[in-house]
Amino acid sequence: MALELLHFFINGTMVIFAAFFQLYLQDIGMDTVEIGWLLAAGPLISLLAHPFWKYWTDRKQSAKPVLLLMLAGLLVSSYLLFSVSTYRMLYWFLILFYFFQVSLLAQNNTFTLDYTSAKGQGFRKFRIWGSIGWAVTALAAGPLIDLTQPCGLSALLIPLILLALGACALIPAQRREVGTPWLHARELIAVVRNKYFMTFLLLGLLVAIPNTMNGMFMPIFMLDLGGSKLYVGLAVFLSTIFEAAVFVLLRRFLRRKLTHLLACLTLVSLLFALRWYLMSIATEPLQIILIQLLHSVTFGGFFYVGSQLTGLFLPRPYRSSGQAVYALFWSGLSGVFAGLLGGWLFLNFGGITLYKICLMFTLCGLIGFGVMWYHLHRHGYSPLRSYEN
């Protein structure tokens, strides 16, 4: 039960930061440009943090001590982050916080995979516990933060980190026999030379940036329309409650064929466009809450199909490097662009214009995916042939 609770508590800490930290920054007087800059720092820090924590996991040959160190560092940095009295100190402690936080989910998954492999158990039930922790914490956090003001966010975040630390400490460490191999420059160069794969990533970036913008600025837009933190939590709850079911259905019924997956990605992009159009005409918080129901289908479908396509665009020896580049584009670069551009758009033009720009970005990606599907449907594609000559 300790491992299930670990997933619950870690995902709970992540959703508090994802859904409510921008509201905390707004409450202490920051505008959306400053908020966007701070939120964009996370993906940049991850470029250093991911290899750092991977190196120490491989060196220790166990994920548990590294995970415990990350949780302890997160606890200390969270306390410092919410104790500062100047913006400059907040910037520095937020960088420290990101260093421990951005790789936390990946490290927890590594720890869980080591444990389940040693015990002969499946991973899926632990992922479900994580989704429950994300959804339940989001729903409960809004009113709890309001009740415990002025220290509402830290009063909820720090106990959850302590509970995660306790759950992690109770789980036996498992020795890692073989670590994931490090990426090589030759493989990365071969990946970025694949014009079809890079076109796929660039088109996906046009769809991923609006999705990340929504995650960063939807809570602020919700409050601008007269909503509350309870409404924000409810919107996040509804956006994730069906996500696991979407993954199960896609895994069971979607054929792993390049043209079929591209057609599915085009359809998902169309649903994204519909979602941003509805957000651009929303006038009440309840409308945003209902629109967020589309998140499970759009987000779940987009990233599941995207990861499957990465494996089909590239020959087997390059797939590990391809997944790294895929994550860099759709999670890293999208976060940087979304924070910088989204904060500027929101401050200067408002939330409605922000979502209209999201719609335009997504339509460009949608058209590109449609053209790519038509081309590959007519002419076919072979990963090995793409590397000839």
pLDDT of residue 148: 75
- Whether 293 shows a pLDDT value over 70: the answer reads yes
Lowest-pLDDT choice from 241-250, 296-305, 360-369, 378-387: 378-387
Q: Residue 192 has what pLDDT?
A: 84
Helix (H, G, I), strand (E, B) or coil at 171: coil
State residue 389's pLDDT score. Answer: 45
Distance set, CA 149 to CA 20, 86, 217, 297 (Å): 13, 19, 22, 35
Rounded average pLDDT over 342-351: 96
Q: What is the pLDDT of residue 177?
A: 61
Residue 281 vs residues 94, 209, 355: alpha-carbon distances, Å: 34, 20, 9
Single-letter residue type at 158: I
H or E element at residue 222: helix 195-224
Confidence at residue 350, expressed as pLDDT on a 0 to 100 scale: 95
Q: What is the CATH number of domain 185-377?
A: 1.20.1250.20
**Residue-level pLDDT at 176:** 66
Q: Does the structure show a pLDDT above 60 at 208?
A: yes
Three-state DSSP class for 287? Answer: helix
Say if CB 383 and CB 315 are below 8 A apart: yes
Select from 129, 119, 132 the least CA-distant residue to 3. 129
Give per-residue pLDDT as tens, 353-375: 999 999 999 999 999 999 999 99
What integer is the mean pLDDT of 41-57?
Answer: 89
2-170 and 185-377, same CATH topology: yes
Main-chain phi, psi angles of 268, to 5 degrees: -65, -40
Residue 229 has pLDDT above 60, yes or no: yes
Predicted confidence at residue 17, as pLDDT, reads 92
Options 1.20.140.10, 3.30.530.50, 1.10.3720.10, 1.20.1250.20; CATH for 2-170 is 1.20.1250.20
- pLDDT for residue 322 is more than 60: yes
**Between helices 195-224 and 351-379, what is the axis angle to 10°?**
160
Task: Provide the angle, in degrees to the nearest 10, between the axes of the packed helices 229-240 and 295-313.
Answer: 50
% of the chain with per-residue pLDDT over 70: 96
Res. 127: pLDDT tops 90 = no
Task: Please report the DSSP string for 31-77 in residue order.
Answer: -HHHHHHHHHHHHHHHHHHHHHHHHHHHHHT-SHHHHHHHHHHHHHH
Per-residue model confidence (pLDDT) at position 307: 86
pLDDT exceeds cutoff 90 at 186? no
Residue with more model confidence, 251 or 70: 70
66-96: pLDDT as tens digits: 999 999 999 999 999 999 888 899 999 999 9
What is the per-residue pLDDT for 181? 61
Tell me: the pLDDT tens digits for 274-287? 999 999 999 999 99
- Identify the top-confidence range among 117-121, 142-146, 247-251, 266-270: 266-270
Highest mean pLDDT of the ranges 244-253, 261-270, 320-329: 261-270
Domain boundaries, the chain: 2-170, 185-377
Cα–Cα nearest to 122, from 132, 131, 112:
112
Model-wide pTM > 0.85: yes
